Amino acid sequence: MTVSLHIHGAAGTVTGSCFRLVTPHGELLVDCGMFQGPKSLRTLNYRPFPFEATGIGAVLLTHAHIDHTGLFPKLALAGFRGRAWTTAATHDLLRWLLPDAGAIQENDVERLNRRNARRAEAEVTAIYTKADAEASLDLLHSTAYDRWFKPIPGVRARLRNAGHILGSAFIELEVDADPAPIRLVFSGDLGPREKALQPDPTPPAPADIALIESTYGDTVRERLTEAERRAVLGRELADGLKAGGNIIVPVFAVERTQEILDDIAALKRAGELASVPVFLDSPLAGRTTEVFLRHRAALERSEDGHPFSAGDFRLTETIEQSKAIGRLHGGAVVLAGSGMCDAGRVKHHLKDHLWRHDSTILFVGYQAPGTLGALVRSGLKQVRIHGEEVRVKARIRTIDSYSGHADRDELVSWARPLLAGLATAILVHGESDSIAGLAEGLSAAGLPRERVAVPSLDQGFDLVQRDGRWTAVAMAAAVPRLPPEEAGARRDWHNDYAQILLDLRGALQMAPDDRSRRRLLQEMRRVIGAVNGGR
């Protein structure tokens, strides 16, 4: 009997979650997510899948975030016709998130094609449209936590609470095999202990092979109580308002938005935050908040009344309403997506506020390498937004206590029930430093280093019996769709190109005279000519 596991995403990088299990009974996917970050990585979203979509019998989705689900409509377009299993809350969230992802792609492609037309370049096509995403929703099928079911013949599965966002799950699988079933765990994204709205992750049952996320595998955070976390937010908001400008908070539509709203509401009720207008400039976040209300019994706080309201919260639906916020020059808090600043209305707010010294940009979530959010947070003095150069003079602030991911100690604690019988831990969803940090933490907890595997993109593993246990043995390296050094890069040549344009403009402006500017341009032409062989 041959069983194999293939890592088609989240290898050496955080995003693009996609794992394929091949059995004699059929194939299934765990997650089908989009790559986010540098443009070189995002180009993988447009390329064909490295497997036949029609050969996939079922999909198991760990949670609603787009880096775990965003290519599911593409899978349906490519011929997948099986069931996609997930929790009821994730099912409800995806009814908003996937069509929104399709609409964003349509808008981005329309803008890009207008630019390409001016440059006489070829048109590009969206990965999928809003209508495509809506059609794929018919394939979703929900199931309860902790209930075993058979996604394909010969395979049992159950979804268990991951504590990451509403409806999030890690997945336990059992594959029929001789002399004993193969037990696998896919962690998905695991939440930290004492998260604002979600219960702590459920401990996993013993397994032979576990894929473990390592987003913050090299980080140990300061432990804050709920009151301490709110106090930190209150101080940052008070300082931002005191500076005189607006406060722009890039947020993810799911979970982060609701956490911030809940804490702002509590601060206002306690009189610890002035009665300032708070704009939720994201129709998607407004709709997902309604999903939270429908599933309020699953939240850590499910008291009577609306848990995300405290008066003066203003949801902006239309583009005109969003633009009107830009005419306010102080005293407002604006929550807008996307959380990594790579799409959505927050990019317009950044254009309006990054150059203002009295404005505040407050980051409350993970910023993937190469994204606009990561570039701003890193301290760059200029960035490019929608093809325009924008100076960064605003106050750039960060709060880490709202992270939806477990840190190293929490990951090791969650994995501890697995360690005694675990043959292979495959570390995914992390950059190289994070993966190394988690590997060290697992080793200190008793897992021998030789049982830890770090896959590359499209790496395959045969699941074989060794010393009386099922283990994962790496196959001969396949040709990856993207070299490892590019898949895990914090920046790519597109980032460097944008930075050189900004640096060139700055150097030309700082040059003492036109003669110096011409010399600088001539030197650049010389270098370009040398690269082009003197042509």
Q: What token pair was written down for 16? A: 């693009």
CA 424, CA 439: separation in Å to the nearest integer? 12
SS3 156: strand
- Return d(Cα 535, Cα 531) in angstroms, integer: 9
Closest to 245 in 3D by CA, of 94, 403, 46, 393: 393
Pairing state between β 155-161 and 149-152 = antiparallel
Burial 199-226 (b: 16+ CB within 10 A, else e): ebbeebeebbbbbbbbbbbbbebeeeee
**Is pLDDT at 530 greater than 80 in this prediction?**
no
What is the reported pLDDT for 312?
A: 66
Instruction: Compute the distance between CA of residue 438 and CA of residue 424 in angstroms, rounded to an integer.
Output: 14
Residues 389-399 have pLDDT tens digits of 899 999 999 99
Q: Give the whole-angstrom CA distance, residue 260 versus residue 280.
A: 11
Question: Measured between alpha carbons, how far is 342 from 45 in angstroms, rounded to an integer?
Answer: 15
Decide if pLDDT at 156 tops 80: yes
- The pLDDT value given to residue 495: 66
Residue spans in the chain of domains classed CATH 3.60.15.10: 4-220+404-487
Q: State percent of the chain over pLDDT 90.
A: 60
Q: Per-residue pLDDT averaged across 425-429, rounded?
A: 98
Check if CATH label 3.40.47.10 holds for domain 226-398: no
> How far apart are the C-alpha atoms of 332 and 347, rounded to whole Å?
17
Sorting pLDDT into bands at 50, 70 and 90, what band is 355?
very high
pLDDT grade for 193, boundaries at 50, 70 and 90 = confident
Asked whether residue 328 carries a pLDDT value surpassing 90, the answer given is no
Across residues 519-527, what is the average pLDDT? 82
- Count of C-beta atoms within a 10 Å radius of residue 527: 9
What distance in Å separates the CA atoms of residue 127 and residue 73, rounded to the nearest whole number? 9
Q: What confidence score (pLDDT) does residue 239 get? A: 96
- pLDDT value of position 488: 60
Query: What are the pLDDT digits (tens) for 500-522?
Result: 776 777 778 778 888 888 888 88
Mean pLDDT estimate for the chain: 90
Decide: residue 465, CB within 10 A, 0-12 exposed, 13-18 middle, 19+ buried: middle
Strand-pairing partners, residue 212, are: 427
Q: Give the pLDDT of residue 102.
A: 95
Distances (CA, A) of 97 to 91, 94, 133: 10, 5, 9
Paired tokens of 500: 């050189």
Question: Which of 336, 365, 351 lies closest to 393 in space, CA to CA?
Answer: 351
Cα–Cα dist 520/388, whole Å:
22
Checking DSSP bridges between strand 382-385 and strand 388-391, what pairing results, if any? Answer: antiparallel
Res 248: pLDDT: 96
- Average pLDDT of 346-352? 93
CA 255, CA 278: separation in Å to the nearest integer?
Answer: 17
Q: Please tell me the least confidently modeled range out of 72-81, 200-209, 368-377, 496-505.
A: 496-505
Q: Give the highest mean pLDDT range of 91-105, 219-233, 363-377, 516-530.
A: 91-105
Phi-psi region of 344 (alpha: psi -120 to 50; beta: other; left: phi over 0): left
CA 476 vs. chain centroid, Å, equals 30
Domain span(s) for CATH 3.40.50.10890 in the chain: 226-398
Distance CA 1, CA 178 (A): 8
Instruction: Give me the mean pLDDT over the 31-47 stretch.
Output: 91
CATH number 3.60.15.10 is the correct assignment for the domain at 4-220+404-487? yes
Angstrom distance (rounded) from CA 229 to CA 196: 9
Tokens read off for 126? 């969206």
Where is average pLDDT lowest: 98-112, 227-241, 299-313, 438-452? 299-313
Q: Mean pLDDT across the stretch 11-17? A: 94
- The more confident residue out of 1 and 119 is 119
pTM assigned to the model: 0.85
For 274-298, what is the mean pLDDT?
88
Does the pLDDT at position 302 exceed 60?
Answer: no
Q: What is the pLDDT of residue 535?
A: 52
Query: Where residue 301 falls among pLDDT bands split at 50, 70, 90?
Result: low
pLDDT tens figures, 126-145 = 999 999 999 999 999 999 99
Q: pLDDT value at position 283?
A: 85
Q: 53-62 pLDDT, tens per residue?
A: 999 999 999 9
